[in-house]
Amino acid sequence: MSRAGEGLVALVTGASRGIGAAIAQRLGAEGAAVVCVARTADLHPRLPGSLRDTVYAIQAGGGRAVPVAVDLSDPPARAGAVLEAEAAFGPIDILVNDAAAAFYMPFERFSERRFAVAFEVNVRAPFDLAQRVLPGMRARRRGWILNVSSATAKLPSGPPFDPFDARGGALLYGMTKAALDRMSAGLAAEVYADGIAVNSLSPVAVVRTPGVEALGMLPEGRPDLVEPVEVFVEAAIALCTGDPKVLTGRVAYSRPLLAELGRTPRTLDGRRPYVERAS
């Protein structure tokens, strides 16, 4: 395998499970030293996965990783997480903002507290972490920032409106991800001359992860609406290690990006091509 992350230090939020854990594992397999950040250091009462599990998977594959348990809605804790990460491995070369607060409910039911938490975790935390790692990236004239977004950021088309939008539920989450997309594109322009890539990446369908399966969120009988995590991770790795002069400023979607780049998904250990399950 290519070991595209050799010699790099990555900080990945939301790394206790799901997409964040999978990206962290693949970055470790690519040779990066990975700082895994999330709230769940050990087992969650309802969901599979923890920072301990992610770090163990990376180390079992021969990689280097450390856990940093932090509540990303707490600004002082975010500052401490970056300091702890740099103390472990040195300045951050790759920042992956995956952690998110996702509340799905009709518009009238959103409380002031949920609104504040959604924007603090989904927008302010990625903004803050990027500000904290950018000076080191600029000094070294290299860096990659990837913001994990969502198709809910797209404007609903209509009338008539799609049933998903008409039922409601994703409005607040989509608002925060739209802000994240705009931040990604705008920051990419500001740091382009410094050799730093900034992108946002969304899946084209529900990503199959243990957490999604445990919550029963996979659409039954619709394999076309399910995306293997390996597909998304391959696109993420391309944006986290590609040429910053070419792959930057993208509000990208996983499968179309891989098709554009002619890139085939690989397993999370990076050792072989990933073969999608038959539907």
**pLDDT digits over 188-214, tens only?**
999 999 999 999 999 988 786 665 555
Q: Which CATH superfamily is domain 9-261 in?
A: NAD(P)-binding Rossmann-like Domain (3.40.50.720)
Which of 174, 181, 35 is closest to 96 using CA atoms? 35
Q: Is the peptide bond before 76 cis (omega within 30 degrees of 0)?
A: no
- Looking at per-residue pLDDT, the higher value among 22 and 104 belongs to 22
Domain assignments of the chain as residue spans, ordered by start: 9-261
Mean pLDDT, residues 156-173 = 92
173 is catalytic: yes
Give the span between the Cα atoms of 261 and 212, in whole angstroms: 28
Instruction: Judge whether 56 counts as a catalytic residue.
Output: no
Give the residue, 162 or 206, on which the prediction is more confident.
162
Indicate which residue of 73, 150, 173, 184 is catalytic: 173
Tell me the helices (H) and strands (E) count for the chain, helix number first. 10, 9
For 144, phi then psi, to 5°, come to: -140, 130
Measured between alpha carbons, how far is 150 from 98 in angstroms, rounded to an integer? Answer: 11
Does the structure show a pLDDT above 90 at 183?
A: yes
Q: Name the band, by pLDDT with cuts 50, 70 and 90, for residue 14.
A: very high
Among 23-37, 96-110, 204-218, the range of highest mean pLDDT:
23-37
Return the half-sphere exposure (C-beta side, CA atoms, 13 A cut-off) of residue 91. Answer: 15
* Annotation marks residue 245 as catalytic: no
Identity (one letter) of the amino acid at 192?
A: Y
Buried b (16+ CB within 10 A) or exposed e, 200-211: bbbbbbebbbeb
**Cα dihedral 181, 185, 190, 194 sign:** positive
pLDDT band at 215 (very low <50, low <70, confident <90, very high): very low
Q: Taking a C-beta distance cutoff of 8 angstroms, is the pair 148, 229 a contact?
A: no
Q: Which of 16, 50, 73, 149 is catalytic?
A: 149
Which of 116, 191, 113, 203 shows the shortest CA–CA distance to 153? 203
Sign (positive/negative) of CA torsion 21, 25, 31, 37?
A: positive
Report the 10 Å Cβ neighbour count for 274. 16
The pTM score is: 0.93
Name residues whose C-beta falls within 8 Å of residue 76's C-beta, 6 or more positions apart in sequence: none
